[in-house]
Amino acid sequence: MLQYRTLQVEEAERIAEIDATNFIKNVWRRDGSGEYQLTEINWTDRELPNGYAWHLRHFRNTLANGGTAFGCFDGGMLVGYATVEGSVFGQQGYVLLDQLFVSNPYRGRGIGKALFVLCAERARSIGAKKIYLCAGSSENTIAFYGKLGCRAAAEPNQTLQAEDPRDIQLEFPLK
C-alpha cells in the first residue's frame, strides 16, 4: 500500500532511490518562428535531469528556506517525491514547484498527481495564487501537466528560464 508523507531534510539522500529512467521519444522545441513543434529525439535518460547532486542540493535548499517536500513510499522505499518552495513571488502570486519525480515502474498509477495535489495544498496554505513550474520539454511531461490543468506561465520567470532554456514555463491556478 502506498503511503504519502512529508520528508525531512535528513532524508534528502533518499531521492537516490528513485529510478529516473525515462525513454523520451519526442520533445517540444521552438522552431525558427518561436513556435513550439514536436521533435523526435529517441533518448533514454538514466538519471534525474541535471544529475543527482543538483537535485539533492535543490531539495536541501528548498527545505532550508521554508519549503516542503512530500514523498510516496511503497513499503520502506521512496518511489516518488515533490518539493514546493516556501515563498511567493511575482505579480501572479506564484510559488515554485521545484521537483516532482516518480520511479519508472510506478508511473501511471496516480502518484505524480497525488504529489502535485499535496504541493498545491501547501502552496494555498502560504497564500500563493498559482503554482509555477519549469517542466522538462518531453511530450509526456507536458501532457502530464496539461492533464492536471497547467498552462503556459503568464509571467515567465527569466532567471528560472535561463537556468534551462529548454524547460517549458507553466502555471497552475490554485482555486
Q: What is the pLDDT of residues 146-163, one digit of tens each?
A: 999 999 999 999 999 999
Euclidean distance between CA atoms 93 and 136, whole angstroms: 22
Alpha carbon separation from 154 to 52, 94, 97, 157 (Å, rounded): 30, 10, 16, 10
Q: What is the pLDDT of residues 29-79, one digit of tens each?
A: 999 999 999 999 999 999 999 999 999 999 999 999 999 999 999 999 999
Q: Domain residues for 74?
A: 2-173
Q: What is the pLDDT of residue 20?
A: 97
- Look up cell 502570486; give the residue: 93
Write down the pTM of the prediction. Answer: 0.97
CATH code at position 152: 3.40.630.30
User: How many domains does the structure of the chain reveal?
Assistant: 1
At 106, phi and psi to the nearest 5? -105, 0
Q: What is the pLDDT of residues 111-120, one digit of tens each?
A: 999 999 999 9
DSSP string, 121-152: HHHHHTT-SEEEEEE--BHHHHHHHHHHT-EE
